[in-house]
Amino acid sequence: MKKVFLLFFLIGSMAMAQTAYVNSDYLLASMTEMQAANAEIQKLNKSLGSDLQKAEANAKQKLADLQYKASAPGVTEEQMKQYASQADALQKELESSAQSAERTLGLKRQELLDPILERVNDAIEAVAKEKGFKLVVNASAVLFADESVNLTPAVAAKLGVTLK
């Protein structure tokens, strides 16, 4: 029994010795490419938000006009249906615009961030292999680890990034 316990202890120790961590949030925040990508995403988000606000204001005005027409004396049942149909179409158009803006923003985010994240992952993998680590985890998942297994500075150096 003692031999089995000792064997598990040794295997566990070897696995722990082959584990390192990277503070990817800190690393990404230090990258000028990431800062530029985030700035571009924020700029697009602001522009799309502004366009959406204009569309909402325009739709509100059209809805108010439709309500005014619908409340006028002598409005026929057919006209009421037409006004309701126009109001529904406005609402659907507004929802479609919002979804389109979200989709555009998501695609831009993916277009800008995917190459950066791929480059970081490649650097992490290269540094881990160079140093003989079999497993690298994100620092946010680590409660405690010795600084000697922190690969963040080595990965930053591989990427040419100055940590802030």
Q: Could you tell me the CA-to-CA distances from 35 to 63, 66, 69, 113, 137 in Å, in that order?
A: 41, 46, 51, 10, 23
Which tens digit of pLDDT belongs to each residue from 145-157?
999 999 999 999 9
Least confident of 62-66, 98-102, 121-125: 62-66
**Number of C-beta neighbours around residue 66 at 10 A:** 17
Indicate whether 103 pLDDT > 70: yes
Question: Which DSSP symbol is given to 21?
Answer: E
Indicate whether 49 pLDDT > 90: yes
Nearest to 40 by CA among 127, 96, 125, 110: 110
Domain boundaries, the chain: 2-159
- What is this structure's pTM? 0.76
Domain 2-159 has CATH 3.30.479.30: no
